Amino acid sequence: MTGLDGFKPDVPAPDEITGPWWEATTEHRLVLQTCSRCVREDGRDRPVGVQHPPRPLCIHCGSDELDWVASAGTGVVDACTVVHRAPRPDLAVPYVIARVRLDEGVVLLTRLQEREPDEWRIDDPVRVAWVDLDDGRALPVFVPAAPSAAPSSPETKEGS
Ligand SMILES: [Zn+2]
C-alpha cells in the first residue's frame, strides 16, 4: 500500500509554457521558473524573480528572460483543508489539499500525505514527494519534512 491509491487527478497536458516543468517531473525534479533580469538586477544571493505556476512573462518585471532552477523541495504548510467528500467517485477520501510555501518563496497548490488528515497544522515543515502518473509525468505532493520523528524528548518532570 502506498497510500496513493485513488489519487488519479485530472492533469492538464503540457504546453509551450509548462513543458519544461512537466519534463522535470518525469525525473522527480521540482523546478521553478525564475527571471534572469530580476536576478541580475537584484544581485543578492537568494532566490529572486521566482514564480509558480509557469507563465510566459515574469510577474515581477514583465521580462521574458525566464529560466528554470531546481527547488530545494522544502517548505511549510501555508493553508490546508481536509476533503471528506470526493468530487469524483474514484477518489479516496479523506485527503488534504494544501497551499505549500516553498523555501524559495512561491506557493504550490498540492496535497499533503503520510499523516492523518486532521493532524496537519499551518507552518508544518514539509518536503516534496512524487506521485507517478500513467504517462510518465509525476505530480508533486508534500509529506512531513521529518518523517516519524521521535517525540522531542518530553520533559517528564518526576518531582515530589
Ligand atoms: Zn523579472
Q: What is the per-residue pLDDT for 155?
A: 54
C-alpha 152 to ligand 1 mean position (Å): 42
The pLDDT tens digits of the residues spanning 42-69 come to 766 555 789 999 999 999 899 999 999 9
Q: What is the per-residue pLDDT for 66?
A: 94
- What band does 7 get if pLDDT is binned at 50, 70 and 90? low
C-alpha 39 to ligand 1 mean position (Å): 7
Kindly tell me the burial class for residue 99, based on how many C-beta atoms sit within 10 Å of its own C-beta (0-12, 13-18, 19 or more).
middle
User: What b/e sequence results for 115-144 when a residue is b if at least 16 CB atoms lie within 10 Å of its CB, and e otherwise?
Assistant: eebeebeeebebbbbbbebeeebbbbbbbb
CB 97 within 8 A of CB 125: no
Q: What is the per-residue pLDDT for 87?
A: 81
C-alpha 51 to ligand 1 mean position (Å): 9
Q: What is the pTM of this model?
A: 0.81
- What band does 1 get if pLDDT is binned at 50, 70 and 90? very low
- What band does 3 get if pLDDT is binned at 50, 70 and 90? very low
Domain range annotation of the chain: 15-70, 72-145
Q: Taking the chain, what is the end-to-end CA distance rounded to the nearest angstrom?
A: 48
C-alpha 132 to ligand 1 mean position (Å): 32
CATH tag for 72-145 (out of 2.60.120.260, 2.40.40.20, 2.120.10.30, 2.40.50.840) = 2.40.50.840
Number of C-beta neighbours around residue 7 at 10 A: 17
- Pairwise CA distance, residues 26 & 90, whole Å: 24
Higher pLDDT, 89 or 153: 89
- Pairwise CA distance, residues 80 & 155, whole Å: 30
C-alpha 134 to ligand 1 mean position (Å): 35
Mean pLDDT score, 120-125: 97
Side-chain half-sphere of 16: how many Cα atoms within 13 Å?
3
The residue with cell 515543515 is 125
**Average pLDDT score over the chain:** 86
C-alpha 37 to ligand 1 mean position (Å): 5
C-alpha 120 to ligand 1 mean position (Å): 34
C-alpha 49 to ligand 1 mean position (Å): 5
C-alpha 66 to ligand 1 mean position (Å): 8
C-alpha 15 to ligand 1 mean position (Å): 21
The pLDDT tens digits of the residues spanning 93-108 come to 899 999 999 999 999 9
